[in-house]
Structure 1
Amino acid sequence: MKKAAARHHSETVFTRAELSGARKLNAVLDLLPRYHTGRRWNAKAAQAAICTLQRLSPDRLFRRSRTIGRTIVVNGRRIGLRLILPDGVRRGLYIHFHGGAWVMGNARLDDGITQPIARECRMLVAGVDFHNAIDDRLDVAVGDCKAAAEWLVDHLATLEVERVILGGESSGAHLAAEALLHLRASGKAKPVVGFISMCGAFNLGGSESLRQSTGRSLLIDAPSALRNLERLTPSLSGREAQGPLFADLSGLPPALLIAGALDPIVDDSLSMFRRWQSQSNNADYVVFPEAPHGFNRLPTKLAARANGLVKMRMSQVLDGSTAAGGN
C-alpha cells in the first residue's frame, strides 16, 4: 500500500491496483504528443472539432431528456447555461465551470462528470458556457462567470433550490473561485455551502511547480501553459491579474481541492489549500499519486476514486448544511 498526504495529519490510502493501473496508462501517455495551451490555432481546431461532433450527436439521440439548454442575458451579454435536472427533490445547485485552459471547451463536454453528480447527489447542475478567451480576453470570461453565478443565486427560488456549491476543473476552478469571491463581495454568498476544485489553476503568475516543469509533463506542455498565462493576464487588472490565490480567503465555505502529483500546477492546489485553511479553517487537500493534469477524465481507478470523492463530499456538505439549518 502507498500513501499520500491529505488534510492536516490525516492520510489517504491508495491501493496497489489503483497505482499500477495509473502507471500503465502514464506509460502510454508518455508516448503521445503534448497539448500546447499557449497556441491559439490548436485551440481553434480543437473547439471546431468539439462543436462539430456535438452537432452530429445531439442530446435527443442519447435520450438526455433531463438536460436543458438556456441562455441568460446579463448586462447585455448572452451566457449559455446547461442545466442537468436530477430525479426527485433537488438537494441543491452545483454551478460548474469547465476546463480547457480558458480558451476551449464547453459545458456539454463535461457531461461525463456533471451527469453523475446530478444523478447520484440529486443536485441541479448548471454548467456555464462562458466566453472562451481565444482572443486573450480573459477579463470577459471572468465577467461571464461572475454574472452567471450571481444570476443563478438570484433565481434560487425559481430553480427550487436553497443551497449552492461552486466548482470546476483546471481553469474552471479558477473561474469558480473568482465567481465565489464576487458573490461574497456582492453580499450574495450566503447560500454557498461548498467549493470543489479538481487540478485547479489559482496562481496566474505561474506556480513554482509549473515554472520548473518541462515539455515532458504528461498531456500538456508546461512551458506552453506558462506562455498561455502570459497571454491572458494582461486583460485583467489588480489582484485578479495575480489569481484567486492572492485574494482574501476568509469567511469562505468549506473547500475540497484535489490535485495530481504529476500535474505541473500541483503547487496551485497546495498553496490554495494552505491559504484557505489558514484564513477560513475549512479546507481539505488530497493529492493523487501517479496522476497528471486532468487525470479524473482518464479510464483509471484513480480517476473513479477522485470523482467519487467529489460526489461524497458534495453529499456530506449538503447533509451538514441541512442539519445546521434545521431544514
Structure 2
Amino acid sequence: MSIVTTGDEDLDQTRAFARRLQADNATRPPLTDLAAIQAARTRQFDGTTAPVPLAHGQDRIVDDVPVRVFTPADVRGVFLHIHGGGWSLGSAHGQDDRLWRLAERASVAVVSVDYRLAPENPYPAGPDDCERVALWLVDNSEREFSTDRLMIGGESAGAHLSVLTLLRMRDRGHTAFRAAQLTFGMYDLSLTPSRRSMAGGWLDRTPGPSWFAEMFVPGTTAEERRDPAVSPLYADLRCLPPARFTVGTADSLLDDTLFMHARWRAAGNQAELEVVAEAGHGFTLYPLAISEREHHRQEEFIAKA
C-alpha cells in the first residue's frame, strides 16, 4: 500500500485559509433546517455566491434524469461525475469551471448527474438516478461520444454515490467503468471513529454528517445504516475498477477513505491513496495550492484510465 502525503510546502497557506474559513463560518447562520438547505442550493459551496455557468455546458435529460454535459474537441473517454453536498446540497451546475477544465485536460466528455436531493427525495432516489445515467452511458456512450471508455467519480456524497453506482452496475453484470476517482467520500453512514472524535473542521456551519445521513436515510438506526446498500464500506467490493482515493488529514471523514481504500485493496482491486497534509473536507473546492495540485493529479489519473 502506497500512501503519499503532500502539501508540506504549502502548510502556511493551508493553515491561514482554514483560520479565515472558520472565522467566516462563525458569522453565518448554520444550516440546520430545510429552509436554510433549500436557500443554500442556489449558491456555490462557499455559501455566498451563485454558480457561474459556462457556455461549454449543455443541459440534457437522459432517461428522465437531468445531466450537464461538457464535450471537448478531443474525446477519448467519458467521465460520469456525481457532485457532493451531503445528498442535500449542490447541483450539476455548481462546478462548471472545474468540470470544463477536466474535460479539456483529460480529453473526456463529462456527464454530471443532477440527482434528486434529500430530504424531499430520500434514499433510494439519488442512487437510483445515478444508476440510470450509468446504464444510459453503457448503452449510448459509443453513439453519443464515439467511445465506450467510461470512468466515474465525485466528491464527498458524490464519492459515496459513485461507489454505490459501481456496486449496482457490477451486480447487473456491467463492468464497463474502468476507473473511479473518489474524493473525501463518506462510506459508513453509521459514522467512523474520526467523525465521532474530531471536533471542529472546515465546514462548521453545517450540522455534520450524522444530520445529513438522517435526511438521506430518515428514521434509521446506526445498525440499519450499516446496510451495504447504504454504507458501501460494508459491501462485497470484489470485481471493482482501479480507484484513486483522496482525503485530507484534517477531514472528519478521514477514516472513511482510509478504511475504504484498505477494503478496496483487500478485495483484490487496484487502488491508490493520496492523503493531503492538514487539508479539510471540501478542500478541492477552494483556491489553494494543494487544490491545484490535486486537480492536476485527478486529471492525470482520469486521462491515463
TM-score (norm 2): 0.89
Residue of structure 1 aligned with 2:159, choices 170, 173, 178: 173
What SS does the corresponding residue of 1:217 show, helix, strand or coil? coil
Distance apart, 1:151 and its partner CA? 1.1
Task: Name the aligned partner's letter for residue 226 of structure 1.
Answer: S
Output one character per residue of 1:277-309: Cα deviation in whole Å (capped at 9) or x when no partner. Answer: 111241111110121100011111001011111
Q: Where is the helix percentage greater, Structure 1 or Structure 2?
A: 1
1:220 aligns with 2:204: yes
CA RMSD of aligned residues (A): 2.2
1:120 aligns with 2:105: yes
Q: 1:82 & 1:274 partners in 2: Cα distance?
A: 33
1:92 aligns with 2:84: no
Number of corresponding residues: 294
% identical equivalent positions:
28
Task: Name the aligned partner's letter for residue 20 of structure 1.
Answer: D
Task: Name the aligned partner's letter for residue 136 of structure 2.
Answer: W
1:32 aligns with 2:24: yes
Q: 2:86 & 2:248 partners in 1: Cα distance?
A: 17
What SS does the corresponding residue of 2:217 show, helix, strand or coil? helix
Conservation of the 8 A alpha-carbon contact between 2:79 and 2:110: yes
Which residues of 2 match residues 131-170 of structure 1 at below 5 A? 131-135=116-120, 137-159=122-144, 160-170=146-156
Distance apart, 1:145 and its partner CA? 0.9
Conservation of the 8 A alpha-carbon contact between 1:37 and 1:220: no
What SS does the corresponding residue of 1:158 show, helix, strand or coil? helix
Q: 1:70 & 1:9 partners in 2: Cα distance?
A: 40
1:4 matched residue in structure 2: none
Q: 1:11 & 1:240 partners in 2: Cα distance?
A: 29
Give ranges in structure 1 of 5+ residues lacking alignment: 1-7, 318-327
1:324 matched residue in structure 2: none
Higher relative contact order (CA 8 A, sep 6+): 2
Which residues of 2 match residues 1-327 of structure 1 at below 5 A? 8-9=1-2, 11-16=4-9, 18-33=10-25, 36=30, 39-49=33-43, 53=50, 59=53, 62=54, 64=55, 66-73=56-63, 78-88=64-74, 90-135=75-120, 137-159=122-144, 160-189=146-175, 191-214=176-199, 216-220=200-204, 224-234=208-218, 239-240=227-228, 242-317=230-305
What SS does the corresponding residue of 2:111 show, helix, strand or coil? strand
Output one character per residue of 1:35-73: Cα deviation in whole Å (capped at 9) or x when no partner. Answer: 8565322211111456x945xx6x5xx5x2x32211123
What SS does the corresponding residue of 2:60 show, helix, strand or coil? strand
What SS does the corresponding residue of 1:87 show, helix, strand or coil? coil
Distance 1:49 1:291, change over 3 A: closer
Q: 2:229 & 2:205 partners in 1: Cα distance?
A: 22
Conservation of the 8 A alpha-carbon contact between 2:31 and 2:207: no
Conservation of the 8 A alpha-carbon contact between 2:118 and 2:215: no
Give ranges in structure 2 of 5+ residues lacking alignment: none
